[in-house]
Amino acid sequence: MILYRISDLTRVYEDRTVLDIPEMNIEAGGRYALLGPNGAGKTTLLHILAFLDRPTAGAIDFESSPVDFSRKGLQTLRRKVVMVDQHPILFTRTVAQNVAYGLKLRKIPSKERKIKVAEALERVGMTAFSSAMAHRLSGGETQRVALARALAVSPSVLLCDEPTASVDAEHQSAILRILQEINEAKGISLIFTSHDRRQAAALATETIHLNQGRPASAGQENVFAAVVTSGRDGRAVCQIENGPRIALPYDGVSAIPRKVRIEIDSNLLLLGGPTQGRSSENRFPGRLIQATEERGQIRCVVDIGVWIDLSLSESTYRKLRPMIGDAVSVQIPADAVRLI
């Protein structure tokens, strides 16, 4: 069964198009990961799927019915779909009172509320914290209570924005296990955003890549929308949307400025240490998002405003040995850029 059917959806803030999705289908009962760099539109899409934001244009069907974005239409849908934010806010009350909040809004009788709260806390392993004050919990404990609060109202769909981004490794494993159990035992559809591809691959049954608000295949991480213009020295320069400005290896590009799509060869990129002062030409500061071994090569993903893939030899990578989250730099040789 199709849970969400999206067609010609756009979301525009002022003059910036944050989402542009021609078509997307999400099946009921699955575990979907939304992957992409900062600014790719992941959280915006999640808010629209939660019916907390409305698209600028386009159509969404939910459970085979067109979504009515009027207040009356959304009230019913929001009882089926619950979203847990990256930094959930808990009231300065006990854990149990926080978990019961949504049930009280739905006017569930007190006796039934207590049963549902106890079941939800047990599901996330937080029963012993029932009487604790929620505002004194750690980040991982807070995330688990937020999940319990969402589960207590028995949603059809659970949306999570970076569910493990602000917690330690121990709680990360626990939260991932809880999310998988929720999906498998309760049949609750799960959609979550993540920056960690390995983590997403371990939990998700399907992965949706977003790049500058548009769906992209897993092999298109280095394909970007850009505008080519003429620089002060007469050479062509390429401004990646939401990303860096790259000097190109040729002069006199026709019809400047013009919108293009570019492809950057991951095998020609150079990884370096953090930049000091002003960057040299086509060298950009960034942060290492991921490093994995693939067929004798080290595949790195660096956030330089957009996510960019680098393919390095093991010996090259060992010279720096950066850790995930470290500041690094990426050198983009002009001949690595191709207009497509």
**Domain check: are 258 and 213 in the same one?**
no
**Domain check: are 171 and 236 in the same one?**
no
Domain boundary among 149, 184, 218: 218
**Domain check: are 231 and 128 in the same one?**
no
- Token pair, residue 167, equals 């917690």
DSSP secondary structure of 188-199: -EEEEEES-HHH
pLDDT of 250 reads 62
Domain boundary among 165, 194, 218: 218
Range of the structural domain that residue 324 is part of: 221-339
**Domain check: are 16 and 162 in the same one?**
yes
* Phi and psi, residue 81, nearest 5°: -120, 125
pLDDT tens string 306-318: 888 898 888 888 8
**Domain check: are 134 and 53 in the same one?**
yes
* Phi and psi, residue 142, nearest 5°: -60, -40
**Domain check: are 157 and 241 in the same one?**
no
**Domain check: are 36 and 155 in the same one?**
yes
Domain boundary among 155, 188, 218: 218
Find the CATH number of the domain harbouring 18. 3.40.50.300
Residue 38: which of 242, 178, 192 has the closest Cα?
242
Q: In terms of pTM, does the model score above 0.95?
A: no
Find the CATH number of the domain harbouring 249. 2.40.50.100
User: How many residues in total does the chain contain?
Assistant: 340
Cα separations in angstroms, 217 against 25, 116, 124, 243, 325: 15, 41, 34, 19, 25
Residue 76: which of 155, 2, 151, 10 has the closest Cα?
155
Per the prediction, the chain carries an average pLDDT of 88
pLDDT of 117 reads 98
pLDDT of 217 reads 58
The C-alpha atoms of residue 181 and residue 206 are separated, in whole angstroms, by: 17
**Domain check: are 159 and 59 in the same one?**
yes
Residue 88 reports pLDDT greater than 60: yes
pLDDT of 256 reads 60
**Domain check: are 289 and 144 in the same one?**
no
**Domain check: are 282 and 236 in the same one?**
yes
Residue 104 reports pLDDT greater than 70: yes
In this prediction, residues 125-135 reach a mean pLDDT of 96
**Domain check: are 185 and 90 in the same one?**
yes
Which residue type does 163 have? P
In this prediction, residues 286-313 reach a mean pLDDT of 84
User: What's the domain count of the chain?
Assistant: 2
pLDDT tens string 187-200: 999 999 987 777 78
In this prediction, residues 144-159 reach a mean pLDDT of 97
The C-alpha atoms of residue 189 and residue 206 are separated, in whole angstroms, by: 12
DSSP secondary structure of 116-153: HHHHHHHHTT-GGGTTSBGGGS-HHHHHHHHHHHHHHT
pLDDT tens string 233-286: 667 888 888 788 888 866 545 556 788 888 888 889 999 988 755 556 789 999
Given the structure tokens 């099946």, which residue do they identify?
Answer: 27
In this prediction, residues 274-303 reach a mean pLDDT of 79
**Domain check: are 242 and 206 in the same one?**
no
Query: What is the phi-psi region of residue 95: left when phi exceeds 0, alpha when psi lies from -120 to 50, beta otherwise?
Result: alpha
